[in-house]
Structure formats: C-alpha cells, structure tokens
Amino acid sequence: MRELVRYRRSLIQERAREHNRVQKVLEGANIKLASVVSDIMGVSSRDMLEAMVNGETDPEKLAGFARRSMKKKKEELELALRGNMTAHQRLILKSMLTHIDFLSEQITELDRR
C-alpha cells in the first residue's frame, strides 16, 4: 500500500511540473493566460489550449471558450491571448497536454484501488 501512495504522489508531482512547463511555453509565445485565469488547466483554459494546439490564433475566438464567471473577463482574455505561438510550440504544447491527460488517468486508476 505504501508503494502505491508514494507512486501516486510522484505522479501528482510530475503532473504539476508538466503544468508549469505548459505555463512556460505559453509565456514563450507571449500568451499571458495565467494573468487572467486562476487555473490554466481548468475547463475553459483547457478548451483554449486545445484550440491553440489545433492552430487557432484569433484571440477573440479563443476568448469565446470562456465559461461562467470567466465570460466577464472576455476583454482581458483577448489581450492576454494575443501572442505568437510557433508550430514547434504548438507541437510541444500538444505533447504536454497528452502527457497531463495520461498522468491524470494513471492517478485516477490508482485512486480506484
């Protein structure tokens, strides 16, 4: 049991490191999403990130993914989402999001046991 708990903790720590790496890629692309949203991996933010990975660059369209209370920050979001993400940054971001999903699945699997 102790091994499972330790392994689960290491997966959670790795997922947190991957979240930080996502933030670093966004900053490298001059996208300041974290300055507007509290959780860059929340539902709305994740939808925006997925759209970026798929090539969407229009800040207005990206801000359109905002839900609930984030809709009130639409103008701030549009300003924060003005950046220039290169093709290699999109590829890296896609890989990171896939890795985060994998880690989350593994954590959920361990929680079931």
Average pLDDT of the segment spanning 67-76: 88
Separation in Å, CA 4 to CA 9, 70, 102:
8, 37, 17
Q: How many domains does the chain have?
A: 1
The mean predicted confidence, pLDDT, of the chain is 94
Per-residue model confidence (pLDDT) at position 25: 97
Per-residue model confidence (pLDDT) at position 1: 83
What pLDDT, in 10s, does the model give residues 8-63? 999 999 999 999 999 999 999 999 999 999 899 999 999 999 999 999 999 999 99
State if pTM tops 0.85.
Answer: yes
Supply the range of the domain harboring residue 33: 2-111
Q: Is 65 in contact with 80 (CB distance < 8 Å)?
A: no
